[in-house]
Structure 1
């Protein structure tokens, strides 16, 4: 078989070409974060000569610039024409069916309402008869005579029977109306999820030519909005094996108006809608104004540069359980695609459908982190280097520690082979106590020009685990914004081995060491703040 591909939009091909309708089905979809690429396949028998293969009923919202047509067989593809056709009816089949059901139910409701009104009218008539003060009467030989007492009982029984029958009918009709209203509400909700309402559709006309009769296979590809996927994660920490496992799932939703049934589904990290060329920097000219205006102009320029977010953006860094089949990855350093195992179904109802993308496991560095000055508790921390085939996009994350659900967190953007740092909740086997050991404020003497504040704290940390554990203790170290403020750690009152500004975090002090089982350590900390006597210190 020979594969031929050619595409030209809106170009004439053959004046006398015969139209051949193609019945196409969606065979695959690649979902991007904000849209999807759809592939439709069709097979037609082409007679000898020039013909036009017509694809009807394609979504009106498809991106015409992304349209591609290819074929397999001994024929050639000429031009491809795109038309938008309008209809008096809704073009999406599922929407038509839903609206038809809603119309039928609405008509049925009107009939039930009519029956209910008739029954209530009958009840009102009998109630008025029962409330009448006139004595019961009967017409005999064109004369009206009062009923005999013996006939009153029969009249009353007849009235009671009528009231009972009409009362039951009223209740039955009310129940029927309630059921109809519930069904109508569900159908209208389903209709809203479709986000339809379109009465137009695209028609693709593919002009072809064949030297002999041939069975032609054609594929139509296009991109369409109203489809998306987002990653969600599970992080599972095993403290015994000291491993962390990350499971990535893709949550897909679409309301394109097309049903994706039994298709090959892929998830891509590429974003086709983003710009295709980098921004160009324009020359920024500086000049000096007259001396009188210099100060105001320069302040204005400084504010302009500090608030120019567009300029900043251009220079910023960019029992045995069943296994769920993970997606297969393919891609490059720039984007990745995950192919979901097996066939997939994603209805066009806007609901979320979840598919497993992949899982990665790595040895974890497990330690505890405590900030006694803020909270008398320690948290289980884990860091691991994940060898993922593609960057992990930001998304919601569920945390599990030794099989137990701990809480929710989020995954930040993570590049392949980058270190992942996660917190797995409080560790109740680490005791933390914080005490302010001293606070002194010296307003200085007649000679001294400075005020001085001295603070001393003590943190007691105890490891109740049966194994040694690395524990990191953090505290504040104020940072001066004014050169007249001097801040100094009191070394003879501070536990040695501390690190200032760890991991680039300014204004933090860290003590890290291994705690043996049942071992308790005390972290002493002191610092002083000196500032001018005639100034007020702002916290």
Structure 2
């Protein structure tokens, strides 16, 4: 029975294929569906149908073929044989021309000595020598030219053959000339008629992962999600219903249980024994002035929220050939609100980075994946989302904003010599100056740090931060949050003192 693919559900690491076809009961009660992927999971095979018959049995078998079962691979094999024959023919011509070049070169060398003797003895004149050597030179030049052209042609043919081999490899991860077969036994309920059968099975070698485009405009964040589908199942998926699911089918579903946690006396280590070898058998935007033009918008998938998984149904039939890597289909769009702010760490770099804090106010959990971040129409860079649950907050870096100027300078540094107690003292004071050259108010988070001692002979004292920071910690980190009106300037000052005991050499001090 001919049963083409009518639907594909792609999971993060598998795919479920659905085929449908019609069988005539007058031609027999045993229906065979052949040419299926060798690696399909036999336990996942299910057959349903409609019509005047009962399904009494379903068997999965495997077939070996002299030729590849996949018609695409069979066509590739025929093309490769033809290309190889053409390459061999050109290689023979190139070898013949190489032999001709070698013969003419040797003849030219030998005739040079012979003509020298003939000229000396007067047997041959200069005109005859010129005539013969000219003919040899012309033939040799023509042979060299032909050999060079054949060599170049041979190299191109080898490159084309290698490209064909890569296409074959990418078309199917398995190039075996074997396939699976499903046999369905039917029991007719009427004398004649037909039944429509639907076959589904799960195959490995297929996966999908999410990707995102994040666009930030003022305080609005638009997140467009898409699915990147890859499949190396060995069969092409024609234009059919495509479903992407976040469910993770498992070969064995077991509720986890706890085993006892035993404590025992440590035993001496035993000498290692070699492991026995074993083998497991398995089957294998609109233009300006064009008000009448409508902006082209993407079509999004229908989203279904299940108990434990999301299902996306793209709004059109999709064809994905075997070997496809990262086939993209648009899934959904989220409209969120962002809180914009700046962060700078002038002790490391004198730039202010624009940052958006976004809360997932949708009802969907976004899977982990890469995201391309745009600020207005400018591409900022790429980042990676971890799993983003509803109500969870994430921070997006939107790049450097040169309109927020940051300057950090050392305003005081002293280093005293040892006192009577032998103790030495160092003091430093830094001032960070911020200027807002943007047309709107900016909230800037400033990060700085005081040194932290890891030796009792080195003491950090009198750490003074102005204005009062909003946060400090035991590792010396100091955080200010400064609000600057358009065109305004603000400063933050950090000072500290370090006492070093007698005879101790200080390391880690920043000059």
Report the Cα distance in structure 2 between the residues aligned to 1:426 and 1:201, rounded to whole angstroms.
56
Distance 1:346 1:237, change over 3 A: same
Gaps of 5+ in 2: 117-122, 267-286, 288-293
Q: Is the 8 A contact 1:361 1:386 kept in 2?
A: no
Report the Cα distance in structure 1 between the residues aligned to 2:106 and 2:394, rounded to whole angstroms.
81
Do structure 1's residue 208 and structure 2's residue 186 form an aligned pair? yes
Aligned-pair RMSD on alpha carbons? 3.7
Do structure 1's residue 134 and structure 2's residue 114 form an aligned pair? yes
Q: TM-score, normalised by structure 2?
A: 0.81
Report the Cα distance in structure 2 between the residues aligned to 1:192 and 1:80, rounded to whole angstroms.
32
User: What does residue 185 of structure 1 align with?
Assistant: 162
Q: Could you say what secondary structure the match of 2:29 adopts?
A: strand
Number of aligned residues: 474
Gaps of 5+ in 1: 1-21, 137-145, 290-296, 298-318
Q: 1:375 aligns with which of 340, 349, 355?
A: 349
Report the Cα distance in structure 1 between the residues aligned to 2:405 and 2:453, rounded to whole angstroms.
33
Do structure 1's residue 516 and structure 2's residue 485 form an aligned pair? yes
Report the Cα distance in structure 1 between the residues aligned to 2:455 and 2:256, rounded to whole angstroms.
38
Q: Is the 8 A contact 2:169 2:175 kept in 1?
A: no
- Greater CA deviation, 456-465 or 166-175? 166-175
User: What does residue 36 of structure 2 align with?
Assistant: 58
Please state how far the C-alpha of 1:366 moved relative to its aligned partner.
0.9
Q: Is the 8 A contact 2:469 2:478 kept in 1?
A: no
Q: TM-score, normalised by structure 1?
A: 0.77
Deviations 1:349-377 (A, max 9, x none): 24321111222122221111111222211
Q: 1:104 aligns with which of 71, 74, 82?
A: 82
User: What does residue 330 of structure 2 align with?
Assistant: 356
Q: Is the 8 A contact 1:37 1:224 kept in 2?
A: yes
Report the Cα distance in structure 2 between the residues aligned to 1:157 and 1:34, rounded to whole angstroms.
71
Q: Is the 8 A contact 2:115 2:129 kept in 1?
A: no
Q: Could you say what secondary structure the match of 2:325 adopts?
A: coil
Distance 1:445 1:276, change over 3 A: farther
User: What does residue 85 of structure 1 align with?
Assistant: 63
Please state how far the C-alpha of 1:467 moved relative to its aligned partner.
0.8
Distance 1:160 1:433, change over 3 A: closer
Distance 1:181 1:459, change over 3 A: same
Do structure 1's residue 425 and structure 2's residue 404 form an aligned pair? no
Deviations 1:258-304 (A, max 9, x none): 001112112111222487334323333568x9xxxxxxx9xxxxxxx
Distance 1:528 1:28, change over 3 A: farther
Q: Could you say what secondary structure the match of 2:319 adopts?
A: strand
Deviations 1:217-257 (A, max 9, x none): 11111111111111222211113xx2111122211111110
Q: Could you say what secondary structure the match of 1:123 adopts?
A: helix
Q: Is the 8 A contact 1:39 1:219 kept in 2?
A: yes
Report the Cα distance in structure 2 between the residues aligned to 1:96 and 1:183, rounded to whole angstroms.
18
User: What does residue 17 of structure 2 align with?
Assistant: 38
Deviations 1:415-456 (A, max 9, x none): 1232231010111011112234456789998899x9987654
Report the Cα distance in structure 2 between the residues aligned to 1:201 and 1:273, rounded to whole angstroms.
23
Please state how far the C-alpha of 1:172 moved relative to its aligned partner.
3.5
Do structure 1's residue 473 and structure 2's residue 451 form an aligned pair? no
Report the Cα distance in structure 1 between the residues aligned to 2:88 and 2:202, rounded to whole angstroms.
44
Q: Could you say what secondary structure the match of 2:391 adopts?
A: coil
User: What does residue 307 of structure 1 align with?
Assistant: none
Do structure 1's residue 385 and structure 2's residue 359 form an aligned pair? yes
Report the Cα distance in structure 1 between the residues aligned to 2:226 and 2:9, rounded to whole angstroms.
15
Q: Is the 8 A contact 1:232 1:251 kept in 2?
A: yes
Report the Cα distance in structure 2 between the residues aligned to 1:419 and 1:370, rounded to whole angstroms.
20
Q: 1:217 aligns with which of 188, 196, 204?
A: 196
